[in-house]
């Protein structure tokens, strides 16, 4: 599916932020593991969370969705069971890594596959620590397909993350929870802590401390979890596309409600405010242990910035759309220490670079980042332009937002992957005054 932008749009009005993809998948997995009655509101019905739901149902979770899109988990009479058919996680790297932890920790037998993109992504970061914990796990040179056989886990396990990764951290915590293994994880830089917050919300014996600038997360071997209904806050990664769209289109104002404001995820707001964005945060509150708020974006003039070091893990998913903001800011933006982007759904640094080349945006692409020479003016285009998304939802949405500053429509190719994380993107963008055509 290709999408073509329009040239007379703005991003303005009031919209509700779609549910957080990372949280939606985590609460499904933890909820199913607890095997108690609970209802999930605000669940993101994107392809990635649905792939995780289907995989859980294959091992006996019995998850149901009602006519109001609420997710119901009910106490089962039977435990999870082995499966002969493969568990297909589609494009969901989060679902795959977390399910590998859960299933290996429970001592089940299962095999995993995914789509072409997920099958190309390296999984040694979770395979290696799981094997050290005692998991019997086989892969195709560290990639899918992956098979797990029943095994016995160690009574305790300590792991220092070589690279900051919330998915690896969560995989190990879920494996330890399921196996009854005492876990200690040391992370060099804080990554998103949705799993820790959720475990604590459900009564787990988990604590996080700081030592020599590092986070120490400890999960006890014995945990008595109590399920309760859960409300998923909005995904700030999705809100970022709307925020940048409002900023570069000189919108008179945009309000986004129910945005997740977890401090391990709000780096994108800090970066945009550093660039000069006028963003007001109001109605701050807690929903199911996660902070959230409403955001108002006001007319602003953006300027270039330098981004590197500790902020990068906090904004790793938002760097493509931050790059679009940088392209229409005044001056140079430098992004470093972001080599992780080369092993996402696509090589996102290369994908952004190719899109910029097609649009005539001056930049330099290097191993762990790029320099972007920004200019706040509308791009004058005298011929039709087609930009390749590499079937990557964040690349596709980023360049569709860039279309707001192009003098003629541009076409972004292979946009179907948008539905993995932002299923109502086209409709929501349209409601703000910016039409996208199939």
Strands 182-187 and 214-219: antiparallel
Residue in 20, 235, 294, 317 annotated catalytic: 317
Question: What is the SS3 assignment for 414?
Answer: coil
Phi, psi (5° rounding) for residue 436? -120, 135
Question: 257: which residues sit within 8 A by CB, 6+ positions away?
Answer: 14, 15, 16, 17, 234, 294
Enter the tokens of residue 69.
Answer: 């899109």
Respond yes or no: is residue 317 known to be catalytic: yes
- Distance CA(171)–CA(152), nearest Å, equals 17
3-state helix, strand and coil shares in percent for the chain, rounded to the nearest 5? 35, 25, 40
Return the closest-CA partner of residue 85 out of 65, 103, 107, 109: 109
- Distance CA(431)–CA(11), nearest Å, equals 9
Return the closest-CA partner of residue 23 out of 257, 232, 238: 232
Q: Are 75 and 33 in contact (CB under 8 A)?
A: no
- Distance CA(389)–CA(400), nearest Å, equals 10
- Distance CA(156)–CA(346), nearest Å, equals 36
Q: Are 193 and 21 in contact (CB under 8 A)?
A: no
Q: Are 17 and 206 in contact (CB under 8 A)?
A: no
DSSP labels for 97-137? HHHHHHHHHHT--EEEE--HHHHTS--HHHHHHHHHHT-EE
DSSP class of residue 230 equals E
Segment holding 215, helix H or strand E: strand 214-219
Enter the tokens of residue 245.
Answer: 């769209």
Q: Which positions are annotated as active-site residues? A: 317
């Amino acid at each position: 599916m290709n999408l073509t932008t329009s040239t007379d749009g703005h991003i303005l009005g009031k919209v509700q932020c779609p549910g957080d993809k990372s949280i939606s998948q985590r609460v499904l997995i933890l909820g199913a593991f607890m095997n108690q009655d609970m209802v999930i509101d605000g669940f993101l019905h994107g392809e990635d969370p649905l792939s995780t739901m289907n995989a859980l149902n294959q091992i006996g979770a019995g998850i149901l969705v009602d006519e109001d899109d609420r997710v119901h988990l009910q106490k089962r009479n039977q435990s999870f069971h082995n499966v002969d058919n493969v568990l297909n996680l589609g494009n969901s790297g989060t679902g795959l890594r977390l399910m590998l932890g859960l299933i290996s920790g429970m001592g089940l037998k299962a095999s995993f596959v995914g789509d072409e993109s997920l099958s190309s992504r390296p999984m040694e970061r979770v395979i290696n620590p799981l094997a050290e914990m005692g998991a019997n796990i086989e892969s195709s040179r560290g990639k899918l397909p992956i098979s797990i056989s029943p095994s016995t886990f160690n009574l305790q396990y300590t792991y220092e993350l070589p690279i900051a990764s919330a998915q690896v951290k969560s995989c190990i915590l879920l494996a330890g929870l399921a196996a009854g293994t005492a876990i200690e994880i040391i992370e060099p830089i804080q990554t998103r802590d949705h799993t820790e917050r959720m475990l604590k919300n459900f009564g787990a014996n988990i604590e996080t401390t700081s030592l020599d600038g590092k986070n120490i997360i400890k999960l006890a071997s014995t945990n008595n979890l109590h399920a309760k209904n859960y409300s998923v806050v909005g995904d700030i990664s999705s809100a970022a596309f709307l925020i940048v769209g409002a900023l570069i289109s000189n919108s008179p104002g945009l309000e986004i409600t129910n945005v997740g404001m977890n401090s391990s995820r709000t780096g994108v707001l800090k970066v945009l405010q550093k660039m000069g964005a006028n963003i007001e945060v109001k109605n701050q509150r807690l929903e199911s242990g996660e902070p959230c708020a409403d955001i108002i974006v006001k007319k602003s003039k953006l300027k270039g910035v330098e981004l590197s070091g500790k902020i990068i893990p906090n904004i790793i998913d938002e760097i493509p759309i931050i790059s679009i903001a940088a392209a229409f800011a005044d001056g140079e933006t430098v992004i470093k220490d972001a080599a992780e982007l080369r092993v996402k759904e696509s090589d996102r640094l290369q994908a952004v670079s190719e899109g910029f080349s097609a649009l005539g945006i001056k930049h330099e692409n290097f191993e762990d980042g790029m320099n972007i020479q920004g200019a706040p003016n509308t791009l004058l285009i005298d011929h039709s332009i087609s930009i390749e998304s590499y079937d990557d939802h964040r690349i596709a949405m980023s360049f569709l937002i860039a279309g707001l500053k192009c003098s003629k429509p541009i076409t972004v190719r292979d946009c179907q992957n948008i539905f993995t994380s932002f299923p109502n993107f086209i409709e929501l963008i349209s409601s703000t005054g910016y039409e996208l055509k199939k």
